[in-house]
Amino acid sequence: MATKKASQTKGLEDLFYDGLKDIYYAERKILSALKKMAKGAESEKVIAVFEKHRDETEGQIERLQQVFEIFGKRAQGKTCPAIDGIIKEGQEILEDFQQAPALDAGLVAAAQAVEHYEIARYGTLITWAGLLGLKNAVPLLEQSLKEEKATDEALTQLGEAGVNERAMQKAA
Ligand code: FE
Ligand code: FE
Ligand code: FE
């Protein structure tokens, strides 16, 4: 009988653990990015959305620690190149649009890309947690997904509430 490579024995539990480590790494990166974006934004409304979600993100990190515990594994992060890239784009907006009328529109768009990544990840993790019978993990992940979706919606509304319009002005 041919011996299997280690990777050939990997199943849904391994995928779930990897996904959990990915979003745990991502959430911690997002926490520090939101702090920077809140400091860099111009409009009070935009700052308020970033600050509210910064606080929620702290809670999401704690929820993930609970999910690791329910899963019976140590809480640890695994580099997420996707979130590193998305955050880098936001950082570029901060640098390249300093004091520009388009700054906030760019930051809102960058933040929305973050939320969409998180929505994709949490959606998958919820499904897998259910399949793995991690009943107590599901509502924790669902609560975070709900917050990501609400933030995405709030960001859309910021765009519609004048942030994009302001960006259409040319700087004097
Ligand atoms: Fe989050
Ligand atoms: Fe990732
Ligand atoms: Fe988020």
pLDDT tens series, the chain, 172 aa: 677 788 888 999 999 999 999 999 999 999 999 999 999 999 999 999 999 999 999 999 999 999 999 999 999 999 999 999 999 999 999 999 999 999 999 999 999 999 999 999 999 999 999 999 999 999 999 999 999 999 999 999 998 888 888 888 865 5
Domain count, the chain: 1
Closest CA to 93 of 81, 115, 111: 111
Q: Tokens standing for 82?
A: 């996707």
Residue 46 in any domain: the answer is yes
CA 154 to ligand 2 centroid distance, Å: 23
Residue 68 in any domain: the answer is yes
User: Residue 170 and residue 172: Cα distance in Å, rounded?
Assistant: 6
Q: Tokens standing for 48?
A: 């308020």
User: Residue 100 and residue 77: Cα distance in Å, rounded?
Assistant: 36
Residue 43 in any domain: the answer is yes
Residue 5 in any domain: the answer is no
Predicted pLDDT at 164: 87
pTM of the model: 0.93
Which residue stretches of the chain are H helix?
Answer: 12-40, 44-71, 81-96, 103-131, 137-158, 164-167
CA 53 to ligand 1 centroid distance, Å: 8
Ligand in nearest proximity to the CA of 148: 3
Predicted pLDDT at 106: 96
Residue 172 in any domain: the answer is no
CA 31 to ligand 2 centroid distance, Å: 15
Residue 131 in any domain: the answer is yes
Predicted pLDDT at 168: 86
CA 146 to ligand 3 centroid distance, Å: 10
Question: Residue 84: which region, alpha, beta or left (left: phi > 0; alpha: psi -120 to 50)?
Answer: alpha
Predicted pLDDT at 58: 98
The residues, ordered by sequence, that sit 6+ positions from 152 with a Cβ below 8 Å of its Cβ are 112, 115, 116, 119
Residue 8 in any domain: the answer is no
CA 28 to ligand 2 centroid distance, Å: 12
Q: In 3-state terms, what secondary structure has residue 78?
A: coil
Range of the domain at 54: 13-167
Predicted pLDDT at 116: 98
CATH number of the domain to which 17 belongs: 1.20.1260.10
Ligand in nearest proximity to the CA of 116: 3
Ligand in nearest proximity to the CA of 144: 1
Residue 50 in any domain: the answer is yes
* C-alpha separations of 2 from 5, 9, 46, 49 in Å: 9, 13, 59, 56
